Amino acid sequence: EVQLQASGGGLVQAGGSLRLSCTASGFSFDDSAIGWFRQAPGKEREGVSCIGTTDRSTYYRESVKGRFTISVDNAKNTVYLEMNNLRPEDTAVYHCAALGAYSSNPYYHSNLGCPITEYEYDYWGQGTLVTVSS
């Protein structure tokens, strides 16, 4: 059974930091890409960042570049999203998702980095709420 467990959300003041974790099981973690997506109240879900668990390719949406850092610990099957200088507009439920068999995905062989579009991802976990107060 595939499981993706996101954790680390909470309430923080603007300018503060949080580190989200996504721990995965039930699929070949070392041949995957892990993406972080978020959905704010009344808005559509959007991709935030992703990382290839083997090639370490990354991608960040423009609004989080320089503030968020994604990393992977293969020994723990865990991907982290370090979020610094948080803004109220970062408030959302954050979900992690897995793209399996990444080495067979066209993005793996491109120079584009990992994909941040929802339809590329096979498995989804429950989210963790991040609330940034002003």
Residue closest to 54 by CA, chosen among 121, 126, 109: 109
Mean residue pLDDT across the chain: 95
> What was the pLDDT predicted at 112?
82
pLDDT tens string 9-36 = 999 999 999 999 999 999 999 999 999 9
118: CB partners within 8 A, 6+ apart: 37, 45, 47, 97
pLDDT tens string 92-126 = 999 999 999 898 888 888 888 899 999 999 999 99
pLDDT tens string 31-53 = 999 999 999 999 999 999 999 99
